[in-house]
Amino acid sequence: MIIKVALLIVFFAVMIVVGFMCRKNSTDVHGFVLGGRSVGPWLTAFAYGTSYFSAVIFIGYAGQFGWKYGVSATWIGLGNAFIGSLLAWVILGRRTRLMTQKLESRTMPEFFGQRFESNTLKLIASAIVFIFLIPYTASLYNGLSRLFESAFGIDYAWCVIIMSVLTGIYVIAGGYMATAVNDFIQGIIMLFGIVAVIAAVLNFNGGFMESFAALSKIEAETNPDLSGAFVSFLGPKPLELLGVVILTSLGTWGLPQMVGKFYAIKNEDAISKGTIISTFFAIVVAGGCYFLGGFGRLYADSITYGANGAPVYDSIVPQMLSDLPDIIVAVVIILVLSASMSTLSSLVLTSSSTLTLDMIVPLSKKEMTEKKKMLCIRVLIVFFIVISAAIAILQVKSQVTFIAQLMGISWGALAGAFLAPFLYGLYSRKVTKASVAACYITGVGIMIANMICTAAGVPFINAFFSSPINAGVLSMITGLIVVPVVSLFTKKMDKKAVDDMFECYDRTITVRVSTALGDAQEVTKK
């Protein structure tokens, strides 16, 4: 207990000190929200990765998908690394940085408003962010409850309150730069922590080969004849596994708290290095989490089961850790806290800045000074933290099921509404305002319909799409089809205005021949 408490005190102290040290970078809105667009590769890459992977991944998703798919759940982590990180940086990173600087946009709704010259699209996007980021934020606390109660005997509500207060302090004090620096520190903890935990769990079960041998003897409920399903290449349910990979990987391309990291990156060198660093981070952390969860069935006799006989997925990973040495448990606690606080800080900063800059300021009758904007953002940070914490406590204490359902559709609704118009908006001059509005409607509409059908106890389309995960994939794919199709038949934007926006991609720059080969005829000897 002394070790656990001491590590927690040191961890929290460092977070707070960093927050106050970064105050000099947060004297105006530009610095507070984007760090002055001067954040280097390591900080940006770790900020991206730690915002991506939270306690939801380590405790909830790792337990749930590891139980369902065995070690093939590792594919989810690899998908997160190569689709959600590598391809996201390659396809979105540079263009996002250039276009958002050209349009002077600091948030995703502001990007939609400037790119498509529509204040209505900006306000609607702000409302979507406001509605769906709060339950998504509340879900971050879920992974902490069992872990903290088993390690400290502290009631879940107090865990939520302590984490909320400390995160709020350093975000309010230092803004984006404080979250980026703390994300870097927290990311280092996550990297070393997940490696240590995997080694400890495998060692507890007799080593690498013994753990695989024991898992290979467990039969799949859906197909008892499928021998060794949970150690197979694609697992017992490859189609369902693919749906999880797509949602958790491609979905990040449309999440405002993720693509917002590209707004603040410093230069070309930072993008090149950040791409490699972010991918490596995702391979280790996400791949490691899902690989670890794949051995959850080895603890089938000791985990918690619900009244319907189904396993309580949030209990799987904590049970795997319960018999490990105290020092490893202490490391896990810091790891999960790091994952949760980094994502929480990113979400509340995104929510508060979006609501202030894209809804309150435009609707305000009087022009707001920089000081008032900063005050408004900081007040809203407190508001979002309080609301999300209250929802998390309410759900656990009263078992309000509709809250859990809303959390499940948040990711799908945000990605379904924003991914297609954001991606096409960066690359195509032919995207229309009507197509963006149509994508908002289909993205959010599909997920709300899924939630209503689930609450009513009827299938959404069919049994496969009744899952919020598969409905989220449907939402994103529908958006990718809807935007170009609707753009063909609706009014185009002013060509001159669009060409002016895309001019940011057409500037000529001079580089050394070590970076890009020149025309041989132009190279002359001196």
Q: What is the mean pLDDT of residues 316-325?
A: 79
- pLDDT given for residue 227 in this prediction: 66
Q: CA 206, CA 211: separation in Å to the nearest integer?
A: 6
pLDDT bin (cut points 50, 70, 90) of residue 416 is very high
Residue 401 clears pLDDT 60, i.e. is over it: no
Q: What is the mean pLDDT of residues 457-476?
A: 84
Residue 173 clears pLDDT 50, i.e. is over it: yes
Q: Which residues contact 363 (CB under 8 A, 6 or more apart)?
A: 123
Q: Which of 152, 186, 151, 149 is nearest to 166 (CA)?
A: 186
Residue 309 clears pLDDT 90, i.e. is over it: no
Q: CA 396, CA 393: separation in Å to the nearest integer?
A: 5
- The Cα-based distances of 457 to 17, 473, 493 in angstroms read 50, 21, 44
Q: Secondary structure of 273-308 in the HEC alphabet?
A: HHHHHHHHHHHHHHHHHHHHHCCHHHHCCCCCECCC
* More confident: 11 or 274: 274
Query: Above pLDDT 70, what percent of the chain?
Result: 89
Q: Which residues contact 326 (CB under 8 A, 6 or more apart)?
A: 3, 4
DSSP 8-state assignment for residue 220: B
The owner of tokens 């379904």 is 416
Q: CA 60, CA 67: separation in Å to the nearest integer?
A: 11
The answer to whether the CB of 380 falls within 8 A of the CB of 126 is no
Residue 503 clears pLDDT 80, i.e. is over it: yes
Residue 135 clears pLDDT 90, i.e. is over it: no
- The Cα-based distances of 102 to 89, 91, 269, 425, 426 in angstroms read 19, 18, 19, 13, 12
pTM: 0.84
**How many C-beta atoms surround the C-beta of residue 1 within 10 A?**
10
- pLDDT given for residue 191 in this prediction: 86
Q: Which secondary structure element, helix H or strand E, spans residue 256, and what is its range?
A: helix 256-263
Q: Which of 425, 419, 421 is nearest to 504 (CA)?
A: 425
The answer to whether the CB of 62 falls within 8 A of the CB of 317 is yes
Residue 26 clears pLDDT 90, i.e. is over it: no
Q: What is the mean pLDDT of the chain?
A: 82
List domains and CATH numbers for the chain: 2-399 (1.20.1730.10), 400-503 (no CATH)
| SS3 category, 265 | strand
- pLDDT given for residue 526 in this prediction: 39
Q: What is the pLDDT of residues 353-372, one digit of tens each?
A: 888 888 888 877 778 888 88
Q: What is the mean pLDDT of residues 3-22?
A: 81
Backbone angles phi, psi at 39, to 5 degrees: -90, 130
Residue 160 clears pLDDT 50, i.e. is over it: yes
Q: CA 221, CA 309: separation in Å to the nearest integer?
A: 13
Q: CA 524, CA 526: separation in Å to the nearest integer?
A: 6
* More confident: 452 or 224: 452
- pLDDT given for residue 523 in this prediction: 43
- pLDDT given for residue 83 in this prediction: 93
- pLDDT given for residue 445 in this prediction: 93
Q: What is the mean pLDDT of residues 143-152?
A: 64
